[in-house]
Amino acid sequence: MDIVRVGICQINSVVGDIRGNYQKIINYANTAKEKGCHIAVFPELALCGYPPEDLVFKKTFLKQNEEYIRKITEEVKDIILIVGFAHFENDIFNSAGIIYNGKIEGIYNKIFLPNYGVFDEERHFTKGKDPIIFKTKDFSFGVTICEDIWYPEGPAFALALAGAELIININASPYHIRKWSERENMLSTRAKDYITSIVYCNLVGGQDEVVFDGHSFLIDEDGKTIGRGKLFEEDLLIKDVDISAIREKRLKDPRWKKRDLMETPFNVKEYHIDTNFKNNSGVIITKEYHMPSVEEEVFLALKTALKDYFYKNNFKKGVIGLSGGIDSSLVAGIAVSALGKDNVVGVFMPSMFTSRESYEDARKLAENLGIRIIDVPITGIYNAYIKELKPLFEGLPFNSAEENIQARIRGNILMALSNKFGWLVITTGNKSEMSCGYATLYGDMAGGFALLKDVPKTLVYKIGRYYNELNKGDIIPERIFTKAPTAELRENQKDQDTLPPYDILDKIITAYVEEDKSKDEIIRMGIPEEIVLKTIRMIDINEYKRRQSPPGVKITERAFGKDRRMPITNRFQE
- Tell which one of 408, 453, 507, 554 touches a copy of itself (CB under 8 A): 408
CB of 567 to a copy of itself, least distance (A): 5
Chain centroid, CA 363 distance in Å: 32
Chain centroid, CA 80 distance in Å: 29
395 binds a copy of itself (CB under 8 A): no
Report the site for a copy of itself in 318-377 (rule: CB under 8 A).
374, 376-377
- Tell which one of 88, 442, 466, 481 touches a copy of itself (CB under 8 A): 442
What are the residues whose beta carbons fall under 8 Å from the beta carbon of 485, sequence distance 6 or more? 325, 326, 457, 494, 495, 496, 502
Peptide bond just before 51 cis, omega within 30 deg: yes
316 binds a copy of itself (CB under 8 A): no
Among 179, 198, 176, 178, smallest CA distance to 189 is for 198
415 binds a copy of itself (CB under 8 A): yes
Stretch binding a copy of itself (CB under 8 A), from 66-74, 135-143, 404-412, 463-471: 404-412
Which lies closer to a copy of itself via its Cβ, residue 180 or residue 423? 423
- Of the chain, the end-to-end C-alpha distance in Å amounts to 64
258 binds a copy of itself (CB under 8 A): no
Cα separation, 430 vs 257, in Å, equals 55
Q: Cα dihedral sign for 561, 564, 567, 568?
A: negative
- Which residues, in sequence order, are bridge partners of residue 174? 212
Among 284, 6, 1, 2, smallest CA distance to 143 is for 6
Which lies closer to a copy of itself via its Cβ, residue 8 or residue 345? 345
What are the residues whose beta carbons fall under 8 Å from the beta carbon of 259, sequence distance 6 or more? 161
Residue 146 catalytic? Answer: yes
Among 231, 166, 230, 217, smallest CA distance to 195 is for 166
Among 482, 539, 463, 475, smallest CA distance to 507 is for 539
Q: Which of 9, 37, 48, 146 is catalytic?
A: 146
- Which residues, in sequence order, are bridge partners of residue 201? 170
Cα separation, 88 vs 462, in Å, equals 47
- Tell which one of 185, 286, 399, 498 touches a copy of itself (CB under 8 A): 399
**Burial readout 533-545 (b: 16 or more C-beta within 10 A, e: otherwise):** eebbebbbebbeb
- Tell which one of 182, 367, 388, 478 touches a copy of itself (CB under 8 A): 388
Report the site for a copy of itself in 60-99 (rule: CB under 8 A).
60-61, 64
| Helix, coil or strand: residue 24 | helix
216 binds a copy of itself (CB under 8 A): no
523 binds a copy of itself (CB under 8 A): no
Q: Cα dihedral sign for 219, 158, 109, 118?
A: negative
Among 485, 457, 480, smallest CA distance to 468 is for 480
What are the residues whose beta carbons fall under 8 Å from the beta carbon of 530, sequence distance 6 or more? none
Which lies closer to a copy of itself via its Cβ, residue 61 or residue 438? 61
Cα separation, 439 vs 437, in Å, equals 5
CB of 380 to a copy of itself, least distance (A): 5
Stretch binding a copy of itself (CB under 8 A), from 200-208, 268-276, 289-297, 502-510: 200-208
Pairing of strands 132-135, 103-109: unpaired
Q: What secondary structure does DSSP assign to 491-541, as a single string?
A: TT--HHHHS--HHHHHHHHIIIIIS---HHHHHHTT--HHHHHHHHHHHHH
313 binds a copy of itself (CB under 8 A): yes
Size of the site for a copy of itself (CB under 8 A): 84
265 binds a copy of itself (CB under 8 A): no
CB of 389 to a copy of itself, least distance (A): 6
Which lies closer to a copy of itself via its Cβ, residue 245 or residue 415? 415
Which lies closer to a copy of itself via its Cβ, residue 60 or residue 482? 60
Residue 307 catalytic? Answer: no
Q: Which of 110, 307, 364, 431 is catalytic?
A: 110
416 binds a copy of itself (CB under 8 A): yes
437 binds a copy of itself (CB under 8 A): no
- Tell which one of 211, 335, 371, 441 touches a copy of itself (CB under 8 A): 441
Report the site for a copy of itself in 127-186 (rule: CB under 8 A).
none
Stretch binding a copy of itself (CB under 8 A), from 180-188, 225-233, 308-316, 486-494: 308-316
- Tell which one of 258, 392, 394, 491 touches a copy of itself (CB under 8 A): 392
Stretch binding a copy of itself (CB under 8 A), from 10-18, 220-228, 294-302, 431-439: 10-18
Report the site for a copy of itself in 537-556 (rule: CB under 8 A).
544, 547-551
Residue 37 catalytic? Answer: no
Which lies closer to a copy of itself via its Cβ, residue 241 or residue 532? 532
20 binds a copy of itself (CB under 8 A): yes
Asked whether the beta carbons of 151 and 266 are under 8 A apart, the reply is no
283 binds a copy of itself (CB under 8 A): no
Which lies closer to a copy of itself via its Cβ, residue 414 or residue 555? 414
14 binds a copy of itself (CB under 8 A): yes
Q: Which positions are catalytic?
A: 44, 110, 146
